[in-house]
A and B are shown apart, each in its own frame.
Chain A
């Protein structure tokens, strides 16, 4: 079954700017006359999205990127300003933690209300109530007004209700962030089982761990537009790299180095020259060839380094450390290095080449290329360290 469950075309949402009461009155008049075109704040623009039955889609993006707005449009809570969205199936949504509970009512009443909203009979809900209470693990609190609940309890009850409804599409917005460790695990387990049963999931989360664990596709929203859409690992890596670059500020500007005593003239990675990012995979061979210049003809020391996109050094080595010298090539020098069996985990890295003086004491020039390591991995960190599983004593023989 690969029918389209959610189909969004050119979806956009703009909130009207209303600062004064007079604006509201004017907006009312305009809407009644059927005229649009108030001063508006665009939060989502031209989003095309197709979700097939059985897909699991993670929605990532920084705060204010339009993730919640997108979910609200899909659930039908918001009406799109432009474009259309069609949903062919029942939707269970947990938006912004509240789950639409009324604070004055007891948990039991709110569950009944949620059931009615999903078109369930009251007695049908009654029979499911014990299972819901058990899943939410809130015990006697079910008869207390929801205003006495902790935020974790509200989310737990909300999730339990949706879980018992088993909708065609499950839409959750940062639900896992609030629950405690054991409830998170319970939710993740439930969602995995739900997906295995052919359920469809839309997950908004700032935890890339959860997104990668639960989703196979991901969409990255940036300033209300789709920045990238596709395989979850590609999208989350690109997204994280973007964050790292952002945290790092602008990339270090390449100094006007041509006049320096020592400078980097060009870099060639795996035989390709140019500024485009190089795509490699974990375990690949990466060959770097750098052309260095020396104003006075002295042999420079070449240093190669790999940094994470945020500037964290991963590894660096110079020709002087390893006791080699760049080869003379006319009036320039060539330094070549090969990283065999690249141990970097998937992600975005910077490959830097530095030109140092002949003693390897002073750095005169730096140039950088982007190295993107592709692949799917849920391991943590930067490197895959050689490892084996099993008892330690086996190693002694």
Chain B
């Protein structure tokens, strides 16, 4: 109970801090991915003339939207959480508190903001007739839960390791860009040469992109086994991340 209250407090604080001092406030949460979407849409649709393969294929913009928002939530959560322990060194040295909270806050904040933006954009797309399955939106939001578990697990791991190895956050920025292109955010699996397609399955984020597309756009199929594997991976990542975090937690103060 106390932990829940503390978590709520930290998340509120994180949300407020993120947009404090900016004119648009929470508007940024929506505006920033919209700008990214505009850039990507222009580059891919106008310049590269990208089209989604298939007979009943959705337009490129909704195809991109349902993958881009979860990706932004996922990557931003990890990147922001990684320095959470390091940034709060002053607090850690003076107050006894469950340190997971410090990682949970930026991670949850990213997901909350971008999940809200996600729903808003979906509603706009639906209203403007882009063939979004409105009734599937709650289920899509539910899909954010294992994605969050995956992100939180990685975030715990990175935040703990970052205390010891300060280069991590630099590498991570590059690594995340690589992972983004190595998952079918901008393209569909079927566009890859046959022999490389199965490699996508090694990327845990692939499942979520295909899941969202299948749920909301009715594009492609996701098998039950894949769902099960994704859930197990998310849970295992969370457990492993937490284990590492717990293991290193008593020594944070010594290395900060």
Contacts and interface: CB of A to CB of B under 8 A. Distances in A.
Interface of A: 15-16, 18, 21, 24-25, 27-28, 31-32, 34, 72, 75-79, 91, 93, 95-96, 98-100, 102, 104-105, 109, 112-114, 116-117, 119, 121-122
B160 to A, nearest CB: 9
B92 to A, nearest CB: 7
Interface string B92-121: 111111000000000000000000000000
B13 A109 contact: yes
- Secondary structure class of chain B's binding surface, majority of residues: helix
Contact of B165 (A24, A75, A91, A121): A24
A282 to B, nearest CB: 42
A110 B254 CA distance: 25
A104 B92 contact: no
B126 interface: no
B91 A76 contact: no
Contacts of B94: 77, 93, 95-96, 98-100
Interface of B: 2, 5-6, 9-10, 13, 17, 90-97, 161, 164-166, 244, 247-251, 253-255
- Secondary structure class of chain A's binding surface, majority of residues: mixed
A21 B250 CA distance: 20
B165 A32 contact: no
A96 B6 contact: no
A101 to B, nearest CB: 8
A74 to B, nearest CB: 10
Contacts, number: 79
Given A18-B255, A119-B6, 15 more contacts: A16-B251, A21-B166, A24-B164, A24-B255, A27-B164, A27-B255, A32-B247, A77-B94, A77-B253, A79-B251, A79-B253, A98-B90, A105-B13, A113-B9, A116-B10
B13 A121 contact: no
A91 B96 contact: yes
28 contacts: A15-B254, A21-B165, A24-B165, A28-B165, A31-B248, A31-B251, A32-B244, A32-B247, A72-B93, A75-B95, A76-B96, A77-B92, A77-B93, A77-B95, A77-B96, A79-B250, A79-B253, A95-B94, A96-B93, A96-B94, A98-B90, A100-B94, A105-B17, A112-B9, A116-B6, A116-B10, A119-B6, A122-B9
Contacts of A98: 90, 94
B71 to A, nearest CB: 29
Contacts of A119: 2, 5-6
A111 B126 CA distance: 44
| Interface hub of B97, B251, B253 (most chain A Cβ within 10 A) | B251
A25 B165 contact: yes
Given A96-B93, A98-B90, A119-B2, A104 B254 contact: no
A10 B114 CA distance: 50
Contacts of A32: 244, 247-248
A25 B164 contact: yes
Contacts of B244: 32
Contacts of B93: 72, 77, 95-96
A16 B255 contact: yes
Nearest to B88: A102
A93 B94 CA distance: 8
Contacts of B2: 119
A116 B91 contact: no
Contacts of A28: 161, 164-165, 248
Contacts of A112: 9
B246 to A, nearest CB: 11
Contacts of B5: 116, 119, 121
